[in-house]
Amino acid sequence: MPHLWHWYAFPPTNTMDELGEDGHPRLGDFMPPVRLNRRMWAGGNIEFLTTLHVGEPLKRRTNTADIKD
């Protein structure tokens, strides 16, 4: 599979009623319940360790390195 195809395999799974006022999923599940009324994705990186092949199982891992207000 071409690089970045994995985004198709892991689409957002939140329904509209699960979103906060800022359009992101409500805090307390993945993100801790911090006092931030607006959030954005400010940067990140993707590392491709090997090629994806059709039929192989995929695993998603997300890390939060820092939260700033």
Cα 63 to Cα 52: distance, rounded to the nearest angstrom? 21
Cα 52 to Cα 2: distance, rounded to the nearest angstrom? 8
Sign of the C-alpha dihedral computed for residues 18, 16, 30 and 9 taken in this order: positive
Give per-residue pLDDT as tens, 40-49.
Answer: 666 777 788 8
* Residue 34 C-alpha from the chain's centroid: 17
Give per-residue pLDDT as tens, 11-41.
Answer: 778 889 888 877 777 776 666 666 766 666 6
**Structure pTM?**
0.40
Q: How many separate helices (H) and strands (E) can be counted in the chain?
A: 1, 0
